[in-house]
Structure 1
């Protein structure tokens, strides 16, 4: 079954490290990546920041050893879209696209530009395992943040029912999971127009489903 993995890699071990080091306030997100062959990887990357940050990033690109060429495609007020040719430090992306037929769903920098975070769809679990082995064998410090199977349902909600999904979203939006809580269970049940007991059971089942999917152990018993 298809598997979605969320991975993190230090920016120092991946592409654009020089540019990110030169512009601490820069936000970068990979729009999509095209790999024609292992030596020709062409990503489309959004840079976001104020005018000064974007100007610094543009200058840094010229000296970035991981880039062979960078072409500015779109220049908005605080965003710029580049098409690039990466030549170095892209082992992970190359393997994903050319060897495992994986799809990079999202990739962006976090922790003030010190890490890249990827969300990747693999055609099967073994493809993820091979990718992880290749990355670690070549010295990349790959951190696995989350793994789950892609359930075969039209919503792609990793096994949650519509009611469970909508309840989790409502709980998150209203601060139920914050510390301290922005809304307690009684107030949340009133807003959702269900009983306190029904809300408690729905959340418990949803949490169990998420845990089972994320640790990839499958169903361990009947719903409570």
Structure 2
């Protein structure tokens, strides 16, 4: 299995959810599930942020012109259903579903048509940036997918390729993949994890000379590995050898 990671970047006024996130940089949206068939798409998203931002985000999801993930800028005629599943002070869980019309297309539909079945989707949104992670089989031709995606994305949306690699790459000497280990060490040494933070993600990314989305991805993967290892074994020794007795 391989993972393909790329990002879409929306211009102002082209996506209501992206506009809200850009106006509220402390607010993020990540997918809890995302599913696609040839005729439909449905997903559940978790948004986190302050109450005012979540209220604006809920309104953006409910706009009649907004159809989750549809790349068609004009009215595609799709019947889109949006429902809030849960709402708390700083979290919002939203379910969306739509039936595809003859003109509808989306990242998952293009992936299904060019990469085949059995795909896993994971998304993360902050600001105008919409990052996709697709887990796919080794035989899929990624170039065909990007050619099809480029043909559907207009000038209002940029595409950036971030990563194509085997799932669960071999760890480095320190347990975690070296790029994740380096990002984590730099974040700790720069005060990113202190309260209050001495540096924000954008500043750290600039210091390291990497895109903000790439640094965010590496830190999230490292944090997930460390948290999983601790919950499963009660120890981080397998990932951080210097902790071994």
- Note the 1:106-121 alignment, pairs <5 A: 106-110=122-126, 112=127, 114-121=128-135
Q: SS at 1:142's partner residue?
A: strand
Gaps of 5+ in 2: 68-79, 192-245
- Note the 1:1-224 alignment, pairs <5 A: 2-11=1-10, 17-23=15-21, 24-25=23-24, 26-35=27-36, 37-67=37-67, 68-86=80-98, 90-97=105-112, 100=115, 101=117, 102-104=119-121, 106-110=122-126, 112=127, 114-124=128-138, 126-139=140-153, 141-150=158-167, 156=168, 158-161=169-172, 163-165=174-176, 171-175=182-186
- Give the Cα separation in 2 of the matches to 1:86 and 1:76: 25
- Give the Cα separation in 2 of the matches to 1:11 and 1:164: 36
- Give the Cα separation in 2 of the matches to 1:168 and 1:4: 16
TM-score between both structures, scaled by the size of structure 1: 0.62
Gaps of 5+ in 1: 151-155, 183-224
Larger Rg: 1
- Give the Cα separation in 1 of the matches to 2:135 and 2:107: 14
- Give the Cα separation in 1 of the matches to 2:164 and 2:54: 34
Q: SS at 1:20's partner residue?
A: helix
Number of equivalences:
167
Return the offset for 1:162: 5.8
